[in-house]
Amino acid sequence: MKFQLMLAPMEGVTDGPFRTLCHQKGADLTFTEVARVANLARLKKGELERIGISGATPTQIQLAGAKLSEYEKFLAAFEAESGFQGFNLNLGCSSPEFVRQGIGAMMVKRVSRVNDIVNLIQKSGSECSIKLRLGMNDYEKGKGAYLNLIEAVDASFFIVHARTARQTLDDPADFSVYSKCVDLGKSIVANGDIRTRKQVKELRAQGLSGAMVGRAAIGNPEIFQKLR
């Protein structure tokens, strides 16, 4: 996979116009705000609006959910718009609601279910990538929860947000985890605290397939020009 700069999915931030602006400034790929498959399967209007792609901006639609029947129902009715580049599974959100329902970051351990979802999406004819945290906490990170998932699942690429679910965005991302991920022979995209050209250059040299930028792009889409 050619090295790509990506705009991170951010609820309340990365709507269609913002994604297009970031693409014009140099983001190769963008992502919608997370949408719940449970709501999409029930055709909830607000949720369907979240996954709308206006124009040809390269976009992956981010989905969260664990029930195969809901994915089946949603995919059967889904029609791709021009910028659509596939789906991305959210294995990173750690909000109490997601944790309670066993979705988001809780799914890093649910390897077999994630595999089933990825296979289902691929069979429907779309590409599927994954965005994951390192595990729920330091214990799971130490046990290599993220590595197990990356090794076992055949997604098109894996965006590794280098924090555990228990950590806040104020805790520093752990850049040391990426080399272990790259060693598994899969396409890995780094995420967390990326904001300089030097960082991007180093990640590229380490064999990563991309760098995803979140907060550093808020109010600052020009960052993608600077990172090129």
Q: How far is the CB of 195 from ligand FMN (least distance, A)?
A: 7
For 16, how many CA atoms within 13 A lie in the half-sphere containing its CB?
12
Query: Does the footprint of ligand FMN cover residue 11 (CB under 6 A)?
Result: yes
Query: Does the footprint of ligand FMN cover residue 89 (CB under 6 A)?
Result: no
Contact 12, 217 (CB under 8 A): no
Percent helix, strand, coil in the chain (nearest 5)? 40, 20, 40
**Which one, 32 or 126, has the nearer CB to ligand FMN?**
32
* CB atoms near residue 22 (< 10 Å): 26
Within residues 198-217, the interface with ligand FMN by CB under 6 A covers 213-216
**Which one, 8 or 108, has the nearer CB to ligand FMN?**
8
**Which one, 92 or 221, has the nearer CB to ligand FMN?**
92
SS3 180: helix
Contact 92, 161 (CB under 8 A): yes
Question: Tokens 């040809």 belong to which residue?
Answer: 56
Query: Does the footprint of ligand FMN cover residue 16 (CB under 6 A)?
Result: no
Q: How far is the CB of 10 from ligand FMN (least distance, A)?
A: 4
Residues paired with residue 59 on neighbouring β-strands, in sequence order: 30, 84
Q: How far is the CB of 191 from ligand FMN (least distance, A)?
A: 5
Q: Note the residues at the interface with ligand FMN (CB under 6 A).
A: 8-13, 33-34, 62, 90, 92-93, 131, 161, 169, 191-194, 213-216
